[in-house]
Structure 1
Amino acid sequence: MLSAKYNDNKRYVIGVIGDIPALLTFWQMFKDQSNEAVLSEIGVVAAALPGETVLPEAHDSGHHIPTYAGYRAMLKAHPEINMVIETTGRSALVHELREYLPASVTLVERGAANFFINLLTSDKIWVACKADLLHTQNMLKTIIDQMDQEMLFLDNRGTIVDMNRAVLEKAGATKLKLMGRPYGEVFLGVDDPEAECDGDPLLVTLQTGETAEGVTSQVDTDGRMRYYRVYTHPVADEDGSISHVVAVRRDITQRTSIEQRLQQAEKLASIGELSTYMAHEIRNPLFAISGFANSLIRSPELSEKMREKVSIILEESKRLDLILKSLLNFTRPTGAEVHEVDLNELIRVTMGVMSLPCQNQRVECTVDLDESAALVKANPDLIKQCLINLVKNSLEAMENGGRLLVTSSMNPDFVVLSVEDTGHGIPLDIRDKIFSPFFSTRGKGHGLGLAQTRKIIDEIGGDVDLVSKENVGTKITLYLPPILAVADQQESE
């Protein structure tokens, strides 16, 4: 019994000629090497078995394939046949068919049939493999482009050969512009392509052949500090040598900010314990020193030179006591009462006081207030102290004059107070330390101004943001919680 794939819409309508053993051998080969794509174009509609007295029946998926005692009867019954395949290889039969078949019917001898089937099968398999490969490639590209992390595909010299969509969106550039550039320009912010970056994970991966990671920081176009963790993964050839590297960059700015806040909280806790000890152990002898110095300076027997020395002791004792008070005040909770604060009015009053220092330093001060801003939930004296701290810092950054802008505004969650100057800016290497207690770039003061400001804003549920560019200026923004319209209702309930 023969088996075939039958369809009325075939590109090749075939009649097969041969004895039963030859036909079975040919058809088994055809089935083994064909696939759905091949069978969809080829249809065997009839078979001729010359010399057979008893003809077998043939079926394919319920379709009947008639058999005939001779090829002439087959062609007469099926004029749609456009190809005849002779499977016996007998030269006399082949010669007879060449003489009889019309020009519209192609004769395919046994050897040619084998070649024809193999060629058609290979072509269809190649097309199917290509389609499958394109589908897999598109699916992989779609997955990579959907990832939030930036991904660069590098050669073994660190040159960019491809990237995902996140890189293009972050860089604001086209793929053509980034192709061929050193990866350090994109991921590490290294201006010189030849420069090496300390802890560059790509160098570690190329040297060791293992996955590596590192942390880098950059100042974005808005002057904000951003932190990134960069991972590099080697891609090896069959011989084990690195041919490519996949570099992944993840933004960890938010996590770093939380870690810095936790570190500062731990630092404040340690300072609190230390200040309690200092107050107990230092203030008592300091009180005695000040008392005896006051007694000595009132003595008429004291010479002028000695009086000057005792005066120095008194001044230094007062300065030490002031430092202790500042330290104790910083480490303790403010405990200040929270009220409804009209931020705009507070800014007007405070900047009225600070206008004279601005004039003396040739600083042009501008105040821009949003009259629609909500009332703020805070202590007015403490917010005034924060504003004065920010203005003083700005004035110290503009020793030769400049411009100072103080603004109020609203966003969906907070009332916003900003102080922006055109000073020298904050260097990148100390930006992480600006809000740390006792850190100061000047020889005077205790370095508690900005640390105290952040502490006050944190305690009322606000936030502090720093934007700075060297030789351009600095902007510090305080986010203050507004008074909610439901507060009175809750209190009355």
Structure 2
Amino acid sequence: MNRLKLNIARKKPGFVPPLVMVGVLVVLLPVFILMTLDRVKKQDEFIRERFLITGTSLIRTFEAGTRIGMLSMQWGTKRIQSMLEATAGQPDVAYIIITDAMGKIIAHSDAVMVGKIYDRWAELGPLPGDPQRIFSRALNTREGPVLEVVKRFVPFHSMFRGRRRGPVHGPDPGCGNMPPGSFGTERSVRSAFGAFGQTDHYIFAGLSMAGVQADQARGYKNIVIKALLFFVFCCSGIIALFALQAYRGAQSSLEQVKAFSDNVVQNMPSGLITLDTDFNVTSTNRAAEKILGEIPEKACPRMAAMAAEISGAGGVASGEIALNQKGKGDLRLDMTVSAIPADEDQIQGFVLLFRDLTQIRDLKKQVETNQRLAAIGKLAAGVAHEIRNPLSSIKGFATYFARQYENEPEDVEIARIMVREVERMDRSITQLLEFAKPMAVQIKQTRIESFIRHSLKLVSHDLGKKKIHVETDIRTKRETIHTDPERICQVLVNLYMNALNAMDSHGILEVGVADVSDNLEIRVADNGCGIPAKDLEKIFDPYFTTRAKGTGLGLSIAHRIVENLNGDIRVESRPTKGSVFYITLPDNEKIE
């Protein structure tokens, strides 16, 4: 029990061990770091995708404008340069460049750069030949970070898709103010575009990302804050679950300890009573109720006096006290009183432990009885044969004198009295020998109703002479029991004869059989004269009898037989009201 209390003290309700919290952090921290990095990566991809779409739209819009200008208004390189410079003035556009296949700048948002070689051309690698394919890369320039979108520049390619190559007669609706027949062939168009008549041109749109860096930083901050909050929330939730589990475990352990303590207290053999500081009874156990009977609300004066002795000095007080119980006489108890401590030298109550010294007296009496029986056994073994031989001679001579003086009635009567007394002495010696020698029992399966009927049949003649009415009540659910039927019949016959001698004519003998727990209980009751209270404790002692012709060994032998069968026999009796004997027998298949 102390070990259980120690474990409960270590497991406080809601307490989570540090290792559990470290384990939660070790498991969750990498997960949330990966989740945060994934969110950041997705945000970067979203921004890049957004700028890529913006750059692609810008290129395609410029490409469409260039196409329309070339076809309808005969734009040349200067007009395209002007349009490029105007377009580059839009927000977030760092530069727009058109180069040929060798990296020479044909048009640039900064006119100074026209005719030069694009300085980052060597870093490009193979460029896409498909006009529909878009290529992008991130750069760090003097103006700041830039997302550069690259596409093959083909402003005139779509004009000839699905057209015939012969001369065109009449104006072309898509050529605006162009002279009729000016763009009759693809070759003539390329020639008219001058510098843009080359086969491969590339357009570069640089989108400045400096403006979104602050937004991106705020986005990173929000992602980190949300991740931390979510991380703290999850950690708190998991730790709360562990704390709840620990609390439930501690509560369950406390309930187990309480149940264990209550079970120990209720089933301990000694009586236990707790008192408050005013000596009021606050709790008891079953042993206390069994010893004291009805428990008063306030402790008796002797108990309160013992508790008062330690209320000031502390420690433990013990001693033997006597209580006067109504109808039961004095009850002597061996009692120990100790204080229930509270905070700092305060007492919140008292614990009283006690045991009934009556049991000790009974044990002492039983030891004395066993010692007497041992002495009787030794005496009986040494004297029985020495007495029986002279008794046989006396009986023989008395029989002889009865025949010799058969004409003298007085002498014959004296001789017969001598024979009867010798026979009575022989029976006493026989009972003494049977009582003193070790008793052997033969256990076998026996029908209950059969040995009850048989035992009554053995005394039916004596019962009939006094016109005793017999009532039987067999209520057991079992049909058989493992016991020694001969010995049990002997016990029952002794009880029947005692009841017969205690009753007048027309008395009532009751024999009942019932199940009590796992045992069989046989009840023999009569309405005779009863047994005085002062003799109840002596009736099973050897040679104790209240009848002039009794040997005093019948009930002693019955008691010994029942004990050898692992049973119990007890009596309840009131003068003039009759007596009831209870025999409790276990169903033993084997008695060792």
What is the TM-score with the length of structure 1 in the denominator? 0.50
1:74-473 correspondence to structure 2 within 5 Å: 148-149=270-271, 162-163=280-281, 165-166=283-284, 169=289, 175=296, 179=298, 212-213=319-320, 228-231=332-335, 249-252=354-357, 255-299=360-404, 303-354=408-459, 357-358=462-463, 361=466, 363-399=468-504, 402-473=507-578
Q: Deviations over 1:145-203 (max 9, x none)?
A: 989525598xxxxxx9644533995567575xx5597779xx9xxxxxxxxxxxxx9xx
How has the CA–CA distance of structure 1 residues 268 and 180 changed in structure 2, closer, same or farther, with 3 Å as cutoff?
closer
Q: Secondary structure at the match of 1:347?
A: helix
1:464 Cα deviation from its structure 2 partner? 1.6
1:261 Cα deviation from its structure 2 partner? 3.7
Q: Deviations over 1:416-445 (max 9, x none)?
A: 212123444433322221111111122221
Moved more, 353-362 or 391-400: 353-362
Q: Secondary structure at the match of 1:392?
A: helix
How has the CA–CA distance of structure 1 residues 169 and 261 changed in structure 2, closer, same or farther, with 3 Å as cutoff?
closer
Distance in 1 (alpha carbons) for counterparts of 2:412 and 2:394: 15
Distance in 1 (alpha carbons) for counterparts of 2:378 and 2:324: 33
* Greater length-normalized contact order (CA 8 Å, ≥ 6 residues apart): 2
Distance in 1 (alpha carbons) for counterparts of 2:330 and 2:501: 26
User: Aligned residues, how many?
Assistant: 305
1:271 Cα deviation from its structure 2 partner? 0.9
- Which runs of no fewer than 5 residues in structure 2 stay unpaired? 1-260, 307-316, 340-349
Distance in 2 (alpha carbons) for counterparts of 1:301 and 1:337: 48
CA contact (8 A) 1:404 1:420 kept: yes
Distance in 1 (alpha carbons) for counterparts of 2:332 and 2:367: 19
1:329 Cα deviation from its structure 2 partner? 1.7
Q: Secondary structure at the match of 2:453?
A: helix
CA contact (8 A) 1:215 1:230 kept: no
- Percent identity between matched residues is 29
Distance in 1 (alpha carbons) for counterparts of 2:324 and 2:529: 21
As a proportion of its length, which structure holds more helix? 2
CA contact (8 A) 2:458 2:493 kept: no
Distance in 2 (alpha carbons) for counterparts of 1:353 and 1:219: 43
Distance in 2 (alpha carbons) for counterparts of 1:470 and 1:431: 11
Q: Deviations over 1:391-416 (max 9, x none)?
A: 22223333365543311122343222
Counterpart amino acid of residue 314 in structure 1 = V
Counterpart amino acid of residue 283 in structure 2 = R
Q: Which residue in the other structure is 1:139 paired with?
A: none
Distance in 1 (alpha carbons) for counterparts of 2:301 and 2:373: 43
Counterpart amino acid of residue 370 in structure 1 = R
How has the CA–CA distance of structure 1 residues 405 and 249 changed in structure 2, closer, same or farther, with 3 Å as cutoff?
farther
Distance in 2 (alpha carbons) for counterparts of 1:295 and 1:402: 43
CA contact (8 A) 1:231 1:249 kept: yes
Moved more, 353-362 or 411-420: 353-362
Distance in 2 (alpha carbons) for counterparts of 1:229 and 1:280: 48
CA contact (8 A) 1:233 1:246 kept: yes
Distance in 2 (alpha carbons) for counterparts of 1:473 and 1:296: 46
CA contact (8 A) 2:449 2:479 kept: no
Distance in 2 (alpha carbons) for counterparts of 1:368 and 1:262: 37
Aligned alpha-carbon RMSD (Å): 4.6
CA contact (8 A) 1:420 1:475 kept: yes
1:249 Cα deviation from its structure 2 partner? 4.8
1:299 Cα deviation from its structure 2 partner? 2.2
CA contact (8 A) 2:481 2:587 kept: yes
Counterpart amino acid of residue 166 in structure 1 = T
Distance in 2 (alpha carbons) for counterparts of 1:390 and 1:300: 42
Q: Deviations over 1:221-247 (max 9, x none)?
A: 9xxx99753549899xxxxxxxxx998
Q: Which residue in the other structure is 1:39 paired with?
A: none
CA contact (8 A) 2:472 2:511 kept: yes
1:385 Cα deviation from its structure 2 partner? 1.5
Distance in 2 (alpha carbons) for counterparts of 1:272 and 1:438: 13
How has the CA–CA distance of structure 1 residues 353 and 276 changed in structure 2, closer, same or farther, with 3 Å as cutoff?
closer
Q: Secondary structure at the match of 1:445?
A: coil
Distance in 1 (alpha carbons) for counterparts of 2:574 and 2:406: 60
CA contact (8 A) 1:374 1:483 kept: no
Q: Deviations over 1:277-324 (max 9, x none)?
A: 221332222222223333333325974443333333322222222211
How has the CA–CA distance of structure 1 residues 412 and 259 changed in structure 2, closer, same or farther, with 3 Å as cutoff?
farther
Q: Secondary structure at the match of 1:306?
A: helix
1:1-12 correspondence to structure 2 within 5 Å: none
1:375 Cα deviation from its structure 2 partner? 2.3
Counterpart amino acid of residue 542 in structure 2 = P
Distance in 2 (alpha carbons) for counterparts of 1:216 and 1:275: 43
How has the CA–CA distance of structure 1 residues 466 and 252 changed in structure 2, closer, same or farther, with 3 Å as cutoff?
farther
Distance in 1 (alpha carbons) for counterparts of 2:400 and 2:465: 41
What is the TM-score with the length of structure 2 in the denominator? 0.43
Counterpart amino acid of residue 149 in structure 1 = G
Q: Deviations over 1:325-383 (max 9, x none)?
A: 12112212343533221122111233345456556556543211135225233332221
How has the CA–CA distance of structure 1 residues 428 and 249 changed in structure 2, closer, same or farther, with 3 Å as cutoff?
farther
How has the CA–CA distance of structure 1 residues 262 and 218 changed in structure 2, closer, same or farther, with 3 Å as cutoff?
farther
Q: Deviations over 1:107-147 (max 9, x none)?
A: xxxxxxxxxxxxxxxxxxxxxxxxxxxxxxxxxxx99x989
How has the CA–CA distance of structure 1 residues 461 and 161 changed in structure 2, closer, same or farther, with 3 Å as cutoff?
closer
CA contact (8 A) 1:228 1:249 kept: no
CA contact (8 A) 1:220 1:226 kept: no
CA contact (8 A) 1:462 1:481 kept: yes
Distance in 2 (alpha carbons) for counterparts of 1:413 and 1:294: 55
Counterpart amino acid of residue 502 in structure 2 = A
Distance in 2 (alpha carbons) for counterparts of 1:459 and 1:399: 33
How has the CA–CA distance of structure 1 residues 353 and 313 changed in structure 2, closer, same or farther, with 3 Å as cutoff?
closer
